[in-house]
Amino acid sequence: MASNVSELTTYKAYLGGKWEESSSGQTIAIKSPYLRETIGFVQAVTQEEVDAAIRAAHQAQKKWAALSLNERGAVLDRWADELIKNEKEIAGTVMHEVGKGDRDSRKEVVRTADLIRYTVQEALHMHGESLRGDGFPGGSQKKLGIVEREPLGVVLAISPFNYPVNLAASKIAPALMAGNGVIFKPATQGSISGIKMIEALDKAGLPKGVLSLTTGRGSVIGDYLVEHKGINMISFTGGTNTGRRLSKQSTMIPLVLELGGKDPALVCEDADLDVTVKSIINGAFSYSGQRCTAIKRVIVNEKIADRLVARLKNEVENLSVGSPEEDSTIVPLIDDPSADFVQRLIDDALARNATLIAGNRRRDNLIYPTLLDNVTKDMDVAWIEPFGPVLPVIRVKSDREAVEIANQSEFGLQASIFTQDIDRALAVARQVEAGTVQINGRTERGPDHFPFLGVKASGMGVQGIHNSLLSMSRQKVTVLNLK
């Protein structure tokens, strides 16, 4: 990667179908979390440019929606093809920009192409319905209701840094298939990856103006976008605090929020430890724990706790630590403040007598994988999402106590239960407050056609391909009053 600032690319924003420099004359430097140097610049677009992009999207959306589903699907299929053609370059950008391992960055691009193709197929196979009036008391057969779906208008898609391609496309693809225009606001750290992805969509022949990519700090243009009267729906993925802010600011438009989590792994004393340890390690530490669905606490029955902790210790000490270029599991966190935040959680727990089993080492924004035992309810690490490689272990006496602690969290994204007794698993699953409960497996979003949702502070509304198509369109009823 070039380190000479004068040789670095200044990327243009994609506004109304053209690649443009912002009239602000301002750019934002994007620094690689592991190279620790600037890798490029993106435009800081202005409010006037946002206005123009939204106007263009409304104009273009009408023609876009008038195309047949097959025609829209063909554009998206070509987009998927372009992503695969440029897999290496796009994955390289993801790796440099957000520090995700080379293999996982490539997987993200391939998963995105698969998601787009599945979205096309799902949309092609969704049907409306018709109803006769006589199904209701006093109703008549002469009333025939035809229920179809239509687009909402212009969808604002706001994505987080940690899946800069996949989580953006999981909003853009259903929005487009449903016939909407799109304003895409990527995470600033993640913008270059977003730009590469939109270059592919442009090459695939998306009609000009249907989508604009507005780069710029959320703190600067975020509120303006969210409050804009030209936005008809918002699909947001990111932190809970940002999500709360959005839900206060947006008015009278549909809002889907996928937010933070504190996913627990509940380990019963009869758990298969091979499966449990593998799932917890992978679930908690891949990409240094920077996944909304990472396992962020272990709640274990005290009868098996010593054995579990010993096995986890061994695995944690053997995790590869270093660089995304070497596909290390533990890589530098997205920036220094994020590493400071994780370190504060560790320090607080140790000051309150948690037992350090492994880790608590740091080099700049690289936090070594840290395992803490005997974590208690008075410690921040028991409740706060670290978005980093620290795993607290909380010991409990019973399933009841495990569920109680699991549910005391403000979050409710996913949970894992490890037991060999399926009746017990189902009984616990029923009581856990979460969007998804995994039995004998790690918490994770995929496969991408499953519904994906968080409850409580983890979100509002449902994603997953089918549900995203539904939330980005509305029902329209036409009633035939027959003679």
State how far the Cα of 373 lies from the Cα of 59, in Å rounded to an integer: 58
Which of 46, 86, 119, 188 is close enough to bind ligand NAP by CB under 6 A?
188
Token duo for residue 260: 């933070």
Most distant CA pair in the chain: distance in Å? 80
Q: Which residues bind ligand G3H (CB under 6 A)?
A: 162-163, 291-293, 444-446
Which of 260, 289, 369, 412 is close enough to bind ligand NAP by CB under 6 A?
260
Helix, coil or strand: residue 481: strand
Integer CA distances (angstroms), 44 to 20, 227, 237, in order: 11, 18, 21
Integer CA distances (angstroms), 82 to 13, 78, 110, 326, in order: 19, 6, 11, 26
Interacting partner of 194 out of ligand NAP, ligand G3H, none (Cβ under 5 to 8 A depending on kind): none
Cβ proximity to ligand NAP: between 217 and 400 the closer is 217
389 belongs to the binding site for ligand NAP (CB under 6 A): no
In 3D space, the residue among 294, 315, 472, 473 whose CA is nearest the CA of residue 387 turns out to be 294
Cβ proximity to ligand G3H: between 27 and 282 the closer is 282
Which of 64, 161, 184, 285 is close enough to bind ligand NAP by CB under 6 A?
161
State how far the Cα of 441 lies from the Cα of 437, in Å rounded to an integer: 9
Which residue carries 């090459």 as its tokens? Answer: 203
226 belongs to the binding site for ligand NAP (CB under 6 A): yes
Helix, coil or strand: residue 355: strand
Cβ proximity to ligand G3H: between 163 and 285 the closer is 163
* Stretch binding ligand NAP (CB under 6 A), from 71-79, 253-261, 312-320, 397-405: 253-261
467 belongs to the binding site for ligand NAP (CB under 6 A): no
223 belongs to the binding site for ligand NAP (CB under 6 A): yes
Q: How far is the CB of 163 from ligand G3H (least distance, A)?
A: 6
333 belongs to the binding site for ligand NAP (CB under 6 A): no
Yes or no: say if 187 and 160 are a contact pair by the CB < 8 Å rule: yes
- Tell me if residue 258 is catalytic: yes
> How many residues in the shown chain lie near ligand NAP by CB under 6 A?
32
Q: What residues contact residue 86 under an 8 Å CB cut-off, 6+ apart? A: 196, 200
Q: How far is the CB of 100 from ligand G3H (least distance, A)?
A: 10
State how far the Cα of 156 lies from the Cα of 154, in Å rounded to an integer: 7
292, 315, 385, 444: which one is catalytic?
292
Integer CA distances (angstroms), 91 to 102, 194, 199, 222, 299, in order: 7, 11, 14, 27, 36
Cβ proximity to ligand NAP: between 153 and 186 the closer is 186
Bridge partner list, 41 = 10, 29
State how far the Cα of 247 lies from the Cα of 165, in Å rounded to an integer: 24
Which of 259, 319, 402, 472 is close enough to bind ligand NAP by CB under 6 A?
259
Interface residues for ligand NAP in 266-305 (CB under 6 A)?
A: 292
197 belongs to the binding site for ligand NAP (CB under 6 A): no
237 belongs to the binding site for ligand NAP (CB under 6 A): yes
87, 258, 315, 444: which one is catalytic?
258
Cβ proximity to ligand G3H: between 216 and 454 the closer is 454
Which residue carries 């976008």 as its tokens? Answer: 225
Geometric angle at alpha carbon 29, from 288 and 321, rounded to 5°:
20
Residue nearest to ligand G3H (CB): 292
- Tell me if residue 268 is catalytic: no
Cβ proximity to ligand NAP: between 17 and 238 the closer is 238
Cβ proximity to ligand G3H: between 128 and 446 the closer is 446
Which residue carries 């440029």 as its tokens? Answer: 86
In 3D space, the residue among 288, 441, 265 whose CA is nearest the CA of residue 370 turns out to be 288
Integer CA distances (angstroms), 31 to 5, 37, 195, 217, 415, in order: 11, 5, 16, 14, 34
In 3D space, the residue among 83, 161, 153, 160 whose CA is nearest the CA of residue 116 turns out to be 83
Q: How far is the CB of 147 from ligand NAP (least distance, A)?
A: 30
Cβ proximity to ligand G3H: between 292 and 429 the closer is 292
227 belongs to the binding site for ligand NAP (CB under 6 A): no
51 belongs to the binding site for ligand NAP (CB under 6 A): no
Interacting partner of 390 out of ligand G3H, ligand NAP, none (Cβ under 5 to 8 A depending on kind): none
Which of 185, 196, 296, 297 is close enough to bind ligand NAP by CB under 6 A?
185
The binding site for ligand NAP (CB under 6 A) comprises 158-162, 167, 185-188, 217-219, 222-223, 226, 237-239, 242, 245-246, 258-261, 292, 385, 387, 413, 454, 459
Catalytic center residues: 258, 292
